[in-house]
Amino acid sequence: MSKLIHKWKQISLIEEDIHLPNGQNISHTTISHPGAAVILPISSNGELVLINQFRPSLKKWLLELPAGTIEADEQPLQCAQRELEEETGYSAKEWIALGQVTPLAGFCDEIQHLYVAKNLEKTSRFDCDLDEVIEVVTMPIEQVNQFIINDTITDAKTIACLSKATLCGYL
């Protein structure tokens, strides 16, 4: 049995009865999320394009990679392309899929799809949502790495995407 507790935008809080592999039956509450795309934009001079975004939940600014929620009938790559342009004002001619991460598996079913975006071009589209306050910043990977080390960058999706890109040889 499943029960909708609350819905906000595309996110739902659902309580359901689950039969576990060990034979136990439990009631589990899950945040149901349609998934997201995370984009690692790399400029022609090798700098990374990040956003400094005010996050109301934390009541502070976070330095992070552009990302966004997948809309209905949208594929992850389409979401990545749309979000890159909306949040940074850039489009990319080359897209490389890096796979996916599951950021909050203990209580959320969200899957984040990771992409590298290259051959960037500035566009006229910079169209944030009403609840998004964003500043676009560029910096070399060495500075980004230092910001991760000293906790200036703490955003998990950003750290995961950069790690995957590094391990795959794109950085």
Are residues 105 and 28 in contact, defined by beta-carbon separation less than 8 angstroms? no
Q: Output the CA angle 120-126-132, nearest 5 degrees.
A: 120
Task: Say how many residues make up the chain.
Answer: 171
**13 burial type by CB count under 10 A (0-12 exposed, 13-18 middle, 19+ buried):** middle
What confidence tens digit (pLDDT) does each residue in 60-116 have? 999 999 999 999 999 999 999 999 999 999 999 999 999 999 999 999 999 999 999
Helices (runs of H) and strands (runs of E) counted in the chain: 3, 10
DSSP for 5-20 reads: EEEETTEEEEEEEEE-
Query: So where are the chain's domains?
Result: 1-32, 34-167
The whole-model pTM stands at: 0.92
CATH fold of the domain at 34-167: Nucleoside Triphosphate Pyrophosphohydrolase (3.90.79)
DSSP for 31-53 reads: EE---EEEEEEB-TTSPEEEEEE
What confidence tens digit (pLDDT) does each residue in 139-161 have? 999 999 999 999 999 999 999 99
